[in-house]
Chains A and B, each alone.
Chain A
Amino acid sequence: MSAKPILIVGGGPAGLSAAHAAARAGREVVLVDKADRLGGAPILQGYAKLVPSHEWARDAIGGMVTRVAQNPNVTIHTGAEVQLFEGEPGAFTATLKDGRKIAAESAILATGFTHFDSLNKPEWGFGTYPDVVTTVQVEQMISSGQGIRCPSDGRVPDRVAILLCVGSRDRQIGREWCSKICCTVSANIAMEIRELSPRTNVYIYYMDIRTFGLYEGDYYWRSQEEAKVKYIKARIAEVTSDGQRLVVKGEDTLVKRPITIPFDMVVHAIGMDPNVDNMTLSAVFGVALNRYGYIDKATPYAGLAQTSRPGVYVCGAATGPETIDDSIAQGQAAAMSALNRAGTVLMNAAE
């Protein structure tokens, strides 16, 4: 069999899953990642315990990395980017930035997302006050073992506010989508904070709570009923400081009253932006983006993981905000589509 390898771009949960699936089915796989190591956001950003398994990211996703790295069918190029992608389905050629050429039967884009940069919402104090942090920073505080501490002076906060929908559902900054995971992640983080520091009270300021599906019970309800996390329906207007503590201003819509509440730490539940490289990816691979800037899926039903270009597939958060477990499922679906395509070609040749 002289079949060419399947090119997979991106080594996060979706890419690792696609690589594993295709390689296990006996295909050669070339896995390219621009970072210096595999694992994607959960590894590179230092996530703590994952939803819904509560496993540490370094164990769960790290295990996926090891599994792919040890598979003889997989060739890995880290610190590499595709500069040119030419040819037809079954006979693509990818040229990396360093000039190396890779012949590929098909390509799977698992290029993921970029976290929203909170500096784009200056009214919420990120970048101005050191004790305003993001969910990613809290994940790092937990995964590094340093615990929940105010960056300004290292004290354990008495009171933490988590602001939902930072960088999501906001026309003012051109982001109309729900980032899907932040409610559940925030509930998870809130429970972690309460566990690490029972005297710390955690308040979540929300517009709607979207802990979809079974996360309702395990995250939303459990955070309220067992961890006593408080949910307040208010979109915060601004975060300032009285010189001692942070001051969160907004309207408590359920009592129709303005609030100015002191907090020790404010956490932005940042959303998922399209990968900052999506314009480049779109040009290099000749795939269309949707109106939000994510890589467009050609059809939601007939062909899984297809992009606008035949022979190029997409999976995971490259297509829009996505959970880790769904990204993994989509990685397998993309691998299946790529394998199907290759199989069809072989069968046609045999006839």
Chain B
Amino acid sequence: MALSSFAGIWLAAFLTLAIYSFLYKDNPVYRLAESIFVGVSLGYEIGLVFYRTIWPNLVERLLADPGPNWYLAIGGILGIMLYCRYIPKVSFLGRWALAVYIGYFVGVELMQRLHGDVLPQVRDTMLPLSSLSSVTFENLLIIVGVLSVLIYFYFSKPHTGILKPVSRIGVYFIMICFGASFGYTIMARISLLIGRLTFLVEGWVKPMIALISGSG
């Protein structure tokens, strides 16, 4: 085993155990591992964004052929303006850049949500109920669920009279949805545990035992 791999595996194992030590109680080793994680993540992201996006998509193109690529400079300048907020005298420039960004994002997101989210989902709720089959029952369940949950979130009228039992049905649908989400979330968290334990057993303990016993 190469020395770099050996050191890397021990470091990864140490950091994994350091993070899990929080389960016993908060301690300095956990905080050290947490700080390393935050610092490394941030540094990694800055480097990645610069070398994979800013350099090839902006700087390199402007340097190589500024004529047809002049418009890229607008984005670059707006990006730099965002950091003006740290200089009190010109901090207003940061707000201008932010305004452009928000304006663009809201405009794009609005149409995107409408065409990609709202309309397809509304269309998919318009389901046939004409025949007697299990599919019809499923369709009915979806329609009742959507309508009752919508009524539960309708706050312009007090939930009295007919609205009361309907919104109550909506609550049951919401509870089932929360239950499904919670179940899936547990599965996700257990998956992470599996990943770390598998690394500790297969990637750390077993190779080390093999190394010590001379078969690795």
Chains A and B come from one and the same complex: no
B residues whose Cβ falls under 8 Å from a Cβ of A: none
